[in-house]
């Protein structure tokens, strides 16, 4: 069909409230509020400030991984990064080994981990652009390599520990009562907003993700952008790995794997469809928080693990029905 | 953008790959078999091959399962969870019913029905409700895992002897797994000739065109998911026979391997191009890479890395060669 | 006898009205031609009947009964078969499989009956025996076929429906003369069998050779139906063009191109995929028209100059400096601009704000890194106003605009920083008359400012009204140049159709 598919409709002022409620981020925020209220009713103290902060720390870890995932997905052409889980684990172990409990090791650890994350992102990006390997296949293969690398590193050197300052940064109040990792997440949120809205690079991400051919015809360096997105994804995953080390104190096997698919879900729940070209990071932050609150409330309810998982899976499906649906075949 | 017009003169090899897209995979397989034999002559012995097949039969089945959705351009990240669910359902039923010959069979049938039902759920969610396949089947995989944990909260219940003895045993002096492979081969030969296979591939090629031609695209995609559920259930029976116990999380790690096997077998994740034979070969490639890495004497801590690298390279090479030669 | 009536069919995509009011009637035993310029709504009308587009309003009456066509399957069940202009083939399936895809012969309830498939498909393949070309066989996968051969497969697939009503939406655009003749023989036979046939084509000679009646559709409205025997080419064209006709009558006087204005673009012996040995030059201040039937190499030449396609031979110079762009980026840097008529594919960034659709070229030409929305808005406002673009705010998504305004936004992106050369590749495809008028007024003004402009248009009226000189393309080469007094509709048609 040659006519452009209209995805957005401009409705006259009267439906402003309805329009607002349809925004994924608003849906996510409302659901977070509802869940917190529900949790408070079920188990008093669930929505206490301290508890919310604890949840926010967990959400920040997921949210930082999801930042990179978000960028890759925004870039379109089935963009997805399955290797983030591997990079998170690798970075956590690497950072632990480098700093081995010493504050002085933090800076070298951060530099090394971010560089390693970028390097794996570069490999992914080159495979996807130069060899035109589908992102799912490329990053899936890379995940296997990373998992192998983890075994090698873990065997060679005794498991490292987080520097005290890092642990403090992640879990103790840092500024105005908020832990450092929350500030870091806020900073990343601001950075992403600036990147996507106020830089030429950001505008080009949307152009490439929405209509690669049109972007190419308007002079956008499509390949360079795509490689950069995968590198950023690796770097964010590396940062998340370091934070995870701080959160758990010491590194252990494959901690990052649990972030792979949830990071994608957080992006989708935040209103960025897997097709790319639309959405942003603010929604993803809400999506990450929503996931964490949902999981937490399921832990609070007095049911066993099986019931929790079933409710979690079913809830995700229902949430996706709100804004994850594709176009009908009939125009 | 290069022109896609096909030149009439093509080398014989290229033409052969066009007809049989799994040919590069078969070549890789042959090379791997040769290398395995070179480094460990015993690995080509009857006993070793039987062991390899009984270990990797489940992955072959799971790769075939994945193929039926990939053909139509979909994906199923819940195959591992379906496998786990069927595994525990079968184990628990066999235990509760006493583990006699007939009850084992009935339990297997219930297991297969469970797989079909899971496939149907996936199909409805992805094709009828139009959710994005990757995230939707991830969500259903969480749900199926929950069900599996409900059926059997912790791993460990053993399979009755009648079951695993059959799987590991022999009929007419030929190992059971070879009979299974033979039956599987017949089944696949039949399935290749069904109208459904042709329609799945047509949908994967151009869903809009298929729809405009009057094909029931949604129903076709749902059937693909149902077939996927069927083969995931068969994979579960293999796992049950191989491990002889129930584990609600046993399939989790196998999902991504099934995707890798499908791609190794020359199928395109974008749909329209895929063969079950290729996926079967792809699963064997993964198995042989793993054994080769062991036979060449890789230090144990390096084995995973070498395996990962080998699979990554095989994946990249497969996609690259497939595109160079095919469309 | 079959009779199909369509009353008041209407379809809008967002703000774009694809079909305003479609009225159409079709009888058994006739070939009913539907004609109209690109984007006038012909395909939408056909797809409504075929069930693949859901109409917003209107009714379909089949043999006296109002029917609801819920989808392509329902349409088939009602006895309607359609040839899709964009084809509905499965690239990796074989010719035979494609022909019978919706109705594969079965055996044993589950399996494809290969023998029956081969024999049934052979019937339809045999219809074009001798003209289907090399490499065309029942077991050839469709992706290995040439464009004309794929079109033949789609024709065979339509014939295989054996439906009483057959709709052919531009089935001959890639076919050669022998293939068209064979196709027409088949159509005549089917007509004799009492089938009702809709036929769409842009070639006047074909329409008058095969049609019994002709319905003209313009800007989404069917305007007239007449018997072919009682009408002629000029009256059909008058109905197609409508109010344009006045403009056509008087082509503008060619501007005096004096020596000192210089050459904006010159092309020598350019050859590549779809064109060969094309040479021309455009003076600053001149609008050079590319004419001829659709797809004769006009777009291919423009895309090659812009670096969006490669060229095998020849040379290009912009303002006298030799230049060869490996990609659009390099062409843009050298001051070459290109506007595609396929704005959905090459132009708009869907779902993004108008502002973001105007700025990408500005970013590139000024090597910007940071976005300053206030400043950009001011810069974008100029060209948008000059084109009289109508929009609520510049932050609204581009999809909220009508087709004409979307195209204005795409054109505005090239005008923040003035290019030296402006290549227009059928820029008015599917946009409304007012938008066309606004656009051509601006293009003339830009020429006056010293740009060299190349305009390819599939609408001859547009070319005649706006181009100072016209090169007529045929099979990838320039076959005639029309300038000054020679720029008449007659000459243009003659040159375009003579070898086709």
pLDDT at A139 over 50: yes
**Residue C29 contacts residue C195 (beta carbons within 8 Å):** yes
Q: Residue C338: what pLDDT?
A: 94
Instruction: Give the residue from C443, C463, C462, C461 showing the smallest Cα distance to C453.
Output: C443
By Cβ distance, the residue of C53, C328, C373 closest to A331 is C53
**Residue C81 contacts residue C168 (beta carbons within 8 Å):** no
* Structure-model confidence comparison of residues C349 and A2, the more confident one: C349
Q: Does A327 touch chain B (CB under 8 A)?
A: yes
- Packed helices A305-323 and A281-300: angle between N→C axes, nearest 10 degrees: 150
Instruction: Give the residue from C339, C277, C340 showing the smallest Cα distance to C314.
Output: C277
Closest approach of A299 to chain B, Cα-based (Å)? 14
State the chains in contact with A (3 or more Cβ–Cβ pairs under 8 Å): B, C
Structure-token match 């501007």, residue found:
C255
Inside any domain, residue B1: no
**What are the pLDDT digits (tens) for B234-251?**
999 999 888 888 899 888
**Residue C161 contacts residue C193 (beta carbons within 8 Å):** no
Contact criterion met (CB < 8 Å) for B136 and A324: yes
Give the dihedral sign, CA A296/A298/A302/A308: negative
Q: Residue C248: what pLDDT?
A: 44
The percentage of residues in chain B with a pLDDT greater than 70, rounded to a whole number, is 94
Q: Are strands C196-200 and C30-35 parallel, antiparallel or unpaired?
A: parallel
By Cβ distance, the residue of B129, B145, B306 closest to A325 is B129
Domain extent for B260: 22-325
The percentage of residues in chain B with a pLDDT greater than 90, rounded to a whole number, is 47
Give bridge partners of residue B72 from the DSSP assignment. none
* Structure-model confidence comparison of residues B223 and B162, the more confident one: B223
By Cβ distance, the residue of C84, C110, C143 closest to B195 is C110
Q: Give the number of domains in chain B.
A: 1
Instruction: Give the residue from A30, A20, A54, A18 showing the smallest Cα distance to A319.
Output: A30
pLDDT at A17 over 80: no
Kindly indicate the confidence band of residue B280, based on its pLDDT and cuts at 50, 70 and 90.
very high
Contact criterion met (CB < 8 Å) for C347 and A204: no
Look up residue B169 and give its DSSP letter: S
Q: Residue A129: what pLDDT?
A: 93
**Residue C2 contacts residue C61 (beta carbons within 8 Å):** no
Q: Does A47 touch chain B (CB under 8 A)?
A: no
The percentage of residues in chain A with a pLDDT greater than 90, rounded to a whole number, is 47
**Residue B326 contacts residue B21 (beta carbons within 8 Å):** yes
Q: What residues of C are in contact with residue B198 (Cβ under 8 Å)?
A: 93, 97, 101, 104, 112
Tokens of C313: 């031979």
Kindly indicate the confidence band of residue A158, based on its pLDDT and cuts at 50, 70 and 90.
low
Alpha carbons C118 and C283: distance in angstroms, whole number:
59
Contact criterion met (CB < 8 Å) for A4 and C403: yes
Q: Provide the residue count of chain B.
A: 327
Give bridge partners of residue C338 from the DSSP assignment. C423
Write the CATH number for B130.
1.10.3470
* Structure-model confidence comparison of residues A27 and C497, the more confident one: A27
Helix or strand holding residue C80 (H, E): strand C80-83
**What are the pLDDT digits (tens) for C82-108?**
999 889 999 999 999 999 999 999 998
**What are the pLDDT digits (tens) for A242-259?**
999 988 887 766 777 888
Q: What residues of C are in contact with residue A9 (Cβ under 8 Å)?
A: 14, 400
What is the chain B residue with the closest CA to C48?
B212
Q: What residues of A are in contact with residue C343 (Cβ under 8 Å)?
A: 4
The percentage of residues in chain A with a pLDDT greater than 70, rounded to a whole number, is 91
Inside any domain, residue B36: yes
Tokens of A116: 């390693």
By Cβ distance, the residue of B139, B270, B309 closest to A316 is B139
B-C contacts at Cβ under 8 angstroms: 85
SS3 assignment, position A279: coil
Structure-token match 């349809």, residue found:
A22
What does the pLDDT average to over B79-84?
Answer: 96
> Across chain C, which distance is largest between two alpha carbons, in Å?
81
Q: Residue C249: what pLDDT?
A: 41
What is the chain B residue with the closest CA to C75?
B214
**What are the pLDDT digits (tens) for C354-370?**
999 999 999 998 888 88
Look up residue B242 and give its DSSP letter: H
pLDDT at B268 over 80: yes
Alpha carbons C149 and C99: distance in angstroms, whole number:
13
SS3 assignment, position B144: helix
Kindly indicate the confidence band of residue B4, based on its pLDDT and cuts at 50, 70 and 90.
very low
By Cβ distance, the residue of C347, C370, C430 closest to A214 is C347
Inside any domain, residue B83: yes
Alpha carbons B132 and B147: distance in angstroms, whole number:
22
Per-domain boundaries in chain A: 25-34+44-322
Kindly indicate the confidence band of residue A231, based on its pLDDT and cuts at 50, 70 and 90.
very high
Q: Where are the beta strands (DSSP E) in C105-210?
A: 106-107, 111-112, 165-169, 196-200
User: What ipTM does this complex have?
Assistant: 0.85
Report chain B's mean pLDDT, rounded to a whole number: 87
Closest approach of A169 to chain B, Cα-based (Å)? 33
Cα atoms in the 13 Å half-sphere on the side-chain side of B36? 23
Lowest pLDDT segment from A57-71, A146-160, A279-293 = A146-160
Q: Are strands C165-169 and C196-200 parallel, antiparallel or unpaired?
A: parallel
Q: What residues of A are in contact with residue C346 (Cβ under 8 Å)?
A: 213-214, 217
Domain A25-34+44-322: CATH architecture, name and number where available: Orthogonal Bundle (1.10)
pLDDT at A16 over 70: no
Residues of chain C predicted below pLDDT 70: 1, 15, 38-39, 241-261, 430, 433, 497-500
Inside any domain, residue B8: no
Alpha carbons A265 and A243: distance in angstroms, whole number:
21
Q: Residue C247: what pLDDT?
A: 41
Domains in chain C, CATH or no CATH each = 3-246 (3.40.50.300), 251-497 (3.40.50.300)
Inside any domain, residue B191: yes
């Amino acid at each position: 069909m040659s006519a452009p598919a209209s995805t957005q409709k401009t409705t006259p002022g009267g439906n402003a409230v309805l329009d607002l409620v349809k925004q994924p981020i608003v849906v996510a925020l409302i659901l977070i509020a509802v869940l917190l209220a529900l949790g408070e009713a079920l188990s008093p103290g669930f929505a206490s400030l301290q508890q919310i902060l604890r949840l926010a720390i967990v959400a920040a870890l997921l949210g930082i991984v999801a930042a990179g995932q978000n960028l890759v997905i925004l870039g379109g052409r089935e963009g997805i990064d399955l290797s983030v889980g591997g990079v998170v684990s690798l970075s956590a172990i690497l950072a632990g080994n480098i700093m081995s409990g010493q504050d002085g090791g933090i800076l070298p650890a951060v530099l090394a981990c971010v560089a390693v994350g970028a390097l794996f992102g570069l490999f992914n990006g080159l495979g996807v652009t130069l060899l035109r390997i589908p992102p799912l296949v490329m990053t899936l293969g890379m995940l296997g390599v990373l998992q192998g690398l983890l075994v090698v590193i873990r065997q060679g050197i005794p498991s490292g520990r987080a520097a005290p300052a890092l642990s403090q940064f992640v879990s103790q109040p840092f500024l105005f009562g908020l832990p450092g990792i929350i500030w870091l997440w806020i900073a990343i949120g601001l950075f992403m907003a600036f990147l996507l809205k106020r830089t030429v690079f950001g505008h080009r991400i949307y152009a490439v993700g929405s209509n690669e051919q049109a972007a190419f015809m308007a002079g956008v360096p499509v390949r360079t952008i795509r490689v950069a997105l995968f590198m950023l994804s690796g770097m964010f995953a590396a940062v998340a790995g370091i934070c995870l080390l701080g959160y758990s104190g010491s590194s252990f096997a494959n901690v990052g794997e649990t972030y792979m698919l949830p990071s994608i879900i957080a992006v989708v729940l935040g209103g960025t469809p897997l097709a790319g070209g639309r959405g942003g990071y603010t929604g993803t932050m809400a999506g990450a928080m929503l996931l964490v609150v949902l999981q937490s409330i399921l832990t609070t309810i007095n049911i066993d693990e099986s019931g929790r998982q079933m409710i979690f899976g079913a809830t995700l499906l229902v949430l996706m029905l709100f804004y994850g649906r594709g176009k009908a075949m009939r125009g | 953008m290069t022109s896609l017009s096909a030149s009439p003169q093509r080398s014989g090899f290229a033409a052969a790959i066009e007809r049989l897209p799994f040919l590069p995979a078969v070549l890789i397989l042959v090379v791997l078999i040769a290398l395995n034999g070179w480094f460990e002559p015993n690995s080509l012995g009857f006993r070793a091959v039987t062991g390899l097949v009984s270990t990797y039969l489940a992955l072959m089945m799971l790769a075939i399962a994945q193929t039926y959705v990939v053909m139509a351009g979909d994906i199923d990240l819940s195959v591992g969870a379906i496998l786990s669910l069927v595994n525990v359902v079968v184990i628990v039923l066999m235990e509760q019913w006493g583990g006699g010959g007939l009850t084992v069979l009935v339990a297997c049938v219930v297991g297969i029905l469970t797989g079909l039902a899971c496939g149907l759920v996936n199909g409805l969610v992805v094709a009828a409700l139009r959710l994005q396949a990757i995230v939707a089947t991830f969500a259903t995989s969480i749900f199926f895992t929950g069900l599996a944990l409900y059926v059997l909260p912790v791993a460990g219940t053993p399979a009755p002897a009648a079951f695993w003895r059959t799987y590991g045993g022999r009929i007419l002096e030929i190992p059971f797994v070879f009979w299974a492979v033979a039956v599987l081969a017949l089944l696949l030969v039949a399935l290749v000739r069904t109208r459904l296979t042709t329609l799945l591939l047509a949908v994967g090629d151009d869903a809009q065109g298929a729809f405009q031609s009057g094909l029931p695209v949604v129903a076709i995609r749902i059937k693909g998911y149902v077939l996927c559920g069927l083969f995931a259930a068969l994979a579960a029976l293999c796992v049950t026979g191989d491990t002889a116990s129930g584990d609600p999380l046993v399939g989790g790690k196998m999902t991504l391997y099934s995707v890798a096997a499908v791609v190794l077998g020359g199928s395109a994740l974008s749909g329209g191009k895929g063969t079950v034979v290729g996926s079967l070969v792809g699963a064997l490639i993964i198995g042989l890479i793993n054994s080769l890495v062991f036979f060449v004497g890789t230090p144990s801590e390096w084995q995973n890395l070498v395996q990962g690298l080998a699979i990554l390279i095989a994946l990249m090479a497969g996609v690259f060669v497939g595109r160079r030669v095919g469309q | 006898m079959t009779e199909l009536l369509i009353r008041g069919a209407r379809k809008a995509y967002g703000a774009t009205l694809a079909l305003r009011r479609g009225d159409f009637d079709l009888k058994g035993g006739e070939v009913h031609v539907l004609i109209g310029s690109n984007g006038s709504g012909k395909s939408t009308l056909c797809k409504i009947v075929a069930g693949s587009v859901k109409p917003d309003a209107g009714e379909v009456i089949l043999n006296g009964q109002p029917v609801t066509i819920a989808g392509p399957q329902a349409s088939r069940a009602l006895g309607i078969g359609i040839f899709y202009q964009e084809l509905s083939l499965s690239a990796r399936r074989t010719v035979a499989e494609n022909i019978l895809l919706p109705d594969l012969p079965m055996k044993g309830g589950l399996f494809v009956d290969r023998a029956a498939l081969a024999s049934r498909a052979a019937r339809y393949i045999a219809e074009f025996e001798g003209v289907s070309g090399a490499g065309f066989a029942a077991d050839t996968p469709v992706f290995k076929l040439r464009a004309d051969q794929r079109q033949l497969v789609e024709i065979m697939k339509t014939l295989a429906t054996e439906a009483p009503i057959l709709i052919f939406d531009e089935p001959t655009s890639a076919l050669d003369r022998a293939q068209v003749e064979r196709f027409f023989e088949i159509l005549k036979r089917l007509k004799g069998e009492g089938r009702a046939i809709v036929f769409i084509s842009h070639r006047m000679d074909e329409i008058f050779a095969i049609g019994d009646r002709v319905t003209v559709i313009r800007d989404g409205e069917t305007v007239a139906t007449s018997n072919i025997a009682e009408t002629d080419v000029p009256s059909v064209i008058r109905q197609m063009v409508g109010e344009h006709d006045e403009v056509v009558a008087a082509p503008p006087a060619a501007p005096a191109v004096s020596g000192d204005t210089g050459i904006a673009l010159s092309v020598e012996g350019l050859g590549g995929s779809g064109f060969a040995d094309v040479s021309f030059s455009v003076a600053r201040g001149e609008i050079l028209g590319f004419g001829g039937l659709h797809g004769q190499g006009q777009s291919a030449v423009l895309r090659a100059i812009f670096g969006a396609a490669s060229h095998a031979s020849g040379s290009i110079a912009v303002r006298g400096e030799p230049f060869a762009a490996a990609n659009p980026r390099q062409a843009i840097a050298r001051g070459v601009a290109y506007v595609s008529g396929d704005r959905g594919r090459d132009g708009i960034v869907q779902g993004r704000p108008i502002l973001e659709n105007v700025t990408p070229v500005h970013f590139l030409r000024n090597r910007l890194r940071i976005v300053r929305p206030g400043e950009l808005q001011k810069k974008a406002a100029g060209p948008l106003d000059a084109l009289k673009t109508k929009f609520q705010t510049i932050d609204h998504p581009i999809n909220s605009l009508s087709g004409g305004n979307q195209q204005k936004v795409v054109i505005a992106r090239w005008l923040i920083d003035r290019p030296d050369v402006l290549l227009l590749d059928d820029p008015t495809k599917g946009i409304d008359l007012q938008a066309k008028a606004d656009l051509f007024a601006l293009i003339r003004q830009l020429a006056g400012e010293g740009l060299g402009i190349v305009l390819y248009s599939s609408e001859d009226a547009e070319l005649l009204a706006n181009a100072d000189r016209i090169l007529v393309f045929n099979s990838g080469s320039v076959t005639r140049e029309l300038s000054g007094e020679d720029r008449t509709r007659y000459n243009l048609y003659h040159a375009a159709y003579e070898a086709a």
